[in-house]
Amino acid sequence: MRSDLILNLAHAGIAGDGPGLKRTVRALAEEAAAKQQHTLAKRFSSLIEGREMGYVGQSARFSVPDNVRGLFHQIEPKRRFRDLLLPTGVVSELNDLVEEHRQLELLRSYSIEPRHTMLLQGAPGTGKTSLAEAVASELGLTLFVVRYDSIVGSYLGETAAKLNDLLEYAATTPCVLFFDEFDAIGKERGDIHETGEIKRVVSSLLLQLDSLPPHVFVICATNHPELLDRAVWRRFEIHFELPLPSKAQVQRWLKSFIRDIGAGEDVPVEKLVAAFAGVNYSDLELFSLDIKRRLILTKDPSYSKVFDQTVRKWSARLRAARRVNKVNGSQSTDSPDLFHQHD
């Protein structure tokens, strides 16, 4: 049985981390099932369901020292790789990554550690945060999302000191440490517009990232890779660029959503795909939430009527956004209304 999962289980139990305990037991159940140990897998599954472990699933948290409290959000990851629409090459690389962590003992017998640093780049809404969550879920780790509003200070040395406190704490805790908009603190030190303070922060941060142990999986995301310090790139063993969803991926996403809510053939999928071409996953999720709200709040819900009303609103929203993109130099074109064509 994987030693990393045993260690995660012990750590979660000692820390009273209910969500972390549940994730690790789930990972143990999956490992047992993969090895055809069905009785053991069933026992683990029963623990997850709460029949033998009443406190599993409670919102217990790690005990956080005062000096780092507020520097990050702790999140129980729920997304899995199968929940995301990712390029084929990315999926293959992610599966290899998970296998490295599952075969931790074998790698260490050859004095090799699994990869544990990842840099994500892509436009807003392309799934960088969702992928970080899925990595945490697949590895059975808790997710720490760094809060820049609490870390970046106005006094000399304050930002570097808080980053130091955060990374020292993370080093003691098996976790995925996620820096979104990493360019906010990982800026190019040669930029003449930056102060000496930010240059010191970058230098200190790079040294600390190098010293983090393998049980801390660092994921950094940026919308502006050109702003990152050149030394940042070589710190990351895995680089992924996440594009906007293709037309085929938008179609798959919408078909899956329509099937999940039981809308059947009342919804013209092809018109939806045409209207949502070029949007990001974030917009697709917001659209799906709007549909779900309307279905819940409408006393006599009609799928076609709810989609009609919601799509009208989103058609106007997308046309306005694309007009702005045109002004800014984008080649995107206006989309038609989904259910009703203009005269």
Taking 60 as the threshold, does the pLDDT of residue 55 lie above it?
no
The residue assigned the tokens 């049980």 is 215
Q: Quick one: average pLDDT of 267-289?
A: 87
How high is the pLDDT of residue 151?
A: 86
How high is the pLDDT of residue 194?
A: 52
How high is the pLDDT of residue 88?
A: 85
Strands 117-121 and 238-241, by their bridges, are parallel
- Band the pLDDT of 191: cuts 50, 70, 90: low
Which of 89, 169, 97, 160 lies closest to 132, judged by CA? 97
Question: 95 or 191, which is more confident?
Answer: 95
Q: Among 83-87, 230-234, 338-342, which stretch is predicted with the lowest mean pLDDT?
A: 338-342
Largest CA distance in the chain: 71
Instruction: Take residue 218 and report the two structure tokens written for it.
Output: 């660092």
Taking 70 as the threshold, does the pLDDT of residue 326 lie above it?
no
Q: Are 70 and 150 spatial neighbours (Cβ–Cβ below 8 Å)?
A: yes
pTM value surpassing 0.85: no
How high is the pLDDT of residue 57?
A: 35
Phi, psi of 241 (to 5 degrees): -110, 120
How high is the pLDDT of residue 196?
A: 57
Helix (H, G, I), strand (E, B) or coil at 313: helix
Amino acid sitting at position 145? V
CA angle 142, 144, 150 (to 5 degrees): 160
- Band the pLDDT of 341: cuts 50, 70, 90: very low
Q: Among 115-129, 188-202, 212-226, which stretch is predicted with the lowest mean pLDDT?
A: 188-202
d(CA 183, CA 224): 7
Going 92 to 126 to 79 to 131, the CA torsion angle's sign is positive
How high is the pLDDT of residue 312?
A: 84
- Band the pLDDT of 99: cuts 50, 70, 90: very high
Whole-number mean pLDDT of the chain?
81
Strands 142-146 and 72-75, by their bridges, are antiparallel
How high is the pLDDT of residue 180?
A: 93
How high is the pLDDT of residue 233?
A: 87
How high is the pLDDT of residue 189?
A: 56
